[in-house]
Amino acid sequence: MKKIKTKTAKKTTHCPISTVLSLIGHKWKIFVIRDLLEGAKRFNELKKSTGASQKSLTIHLRELEDKGIVERKAYKEVPPRVEYSLTDIGYSLAPVLESMAQWGTDYTEYLRLKEKMKKSE
């Protein structure tokens, strides 16, 4: 069977949307960024607010740190304290998340109106 080459395959390799999704495309990452937009948080605060498991949150925080989105700061105290915060490039994602939130609100309203129209028919 002959393979068919498509333009789509080339498009996604250099697509800016693909870049964004590869960085923040997981729901826990989005929730972490959302929560850190409010300011620095400790691990357990993020775990509680996102609902992520300890293992999953650890993995995603490390990935966000490796990509330069999140900064981890360990304080030399007893007991040890670690806080996570967004870097400047992490804070630059604020308009992206705000747009997503607005779209989600608009879509929810669309569904509500659609359902209301169905019931009135």
Q: Is residue 62 part of a domain?
A: yes
Answer whether 25's CB lies under 8 Å from 63's CB: no
Residues 9-38 pLDDT 10s: 555 567 888 989 989 999 999 999 999 999
Whole-number average pLDDT of the chain: 90
pLDDT at 8: 53
Answer whether 60's CB lies under 8 Å from 26's CB: yes
pLDDT at 112 over 90: yes
Q: What is the mean pLDDT of residues 96-119?
A: 94
Q: What is the mean pLDDT of residues 60-68?
A: 97
pLDDT at 66: 97
Query: Position 57: which residue type?
Result: L
Total tally of structural domains belonging to the chain: 1
Q: Is residue 1 part of a domain?
A: no
pLDDT at 97: 95
Separation between Cα atoms, residue 42 and residue 82, nearest integer Å: 6
Q: Is residue 109 part of a domain?
A: yes
pLDDT at 2 over 90: no
Answer whether 61's CB lies under 8 Å from 46's CB: yes
Answer whether 34's CB lies under 8 Å from 52's CB: no
Q: Is residue 2 part of a domain?
A: no
pLDDT at 118 over 70: yes
Q: Is residue 97 part of a domain?
A: yes
Give the rounded percent of residues in the chain with a pLDDT score beyond 70. Answer: 89
Q: Domain containing 99 — which CATH number?
A: 1.10.10.10
69 three-class SS: coil
**Domain housing 97:** 7-120
81 three-class SS: strand
Separation between Cα atoms, residue 81 and residue 79, nearest integer Å: 6
